[in-house]
């Protein structure tokens, strides 16, 4: 019973981060607003592209590990990747974003990623 839950949550997180990455690549300004720190009109769009590429790469790497390396490897990956949403929490807080987005989106994501890691280690 635990195996489908562990894999299902991992797949959902991998799809979600891939989608977020694609959104930053295809519609960077609306994606930045959803992130919690809106992009400045005259700001350097390269940083939004970097975020999109980072997140999309996380998704691809997670999918490759899931397909070819197994649950424990993906568990270690999830443990390491949890650093990103924890960092995003701090970025949103330090740059004028709301606590609701920082904790309700980014910190909550980190917690879910860590739960996914624990489930994958238990499989």
Residue extents of the structural domains in the chain: 2-122
pLDDT in tens, the chain (123 residues): 899 999 999 999 999 999 999 999 999 999 999 999 988 888 778 889 999 999 999 999 999 999 999 999 999 999 999 999 999 999 999 999 999 999 999 999 999 999 999 999 999
The H or E element spanning position 40 is none
| pTM confidence score | 0.92
pLDDT, position 19: 97
pLDDT, position 40: 85
CB-based contact 59:15 (threshold 8 Å): yes
């Amino acid at each position: 019973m635990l195996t489908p839950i562990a894999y299902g949550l991992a797949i959902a997180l991998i799809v979600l981060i891939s989608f977020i990455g694609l959104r930053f690549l295809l519609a960077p300004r609306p994606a930045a607003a959803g992130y919690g720190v809106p992009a400045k009109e005259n700001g350097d769009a390269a940083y939004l592209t970097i975020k999109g590429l980072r997140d999309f790469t996380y998704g691809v790497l997670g999918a490759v590990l899931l397909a070819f390396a197994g649950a424990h490897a993906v568990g270690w990956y999830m443990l390491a990747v949890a650093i990103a949403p924890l960092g995003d929490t701090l970025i949103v807080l330090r740059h004028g974003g709301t606590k609701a987005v920082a904790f309700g989106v980014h910190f909550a994501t980190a917690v879910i990623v860590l739960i996914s890691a624990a489930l994958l280690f238990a499989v």
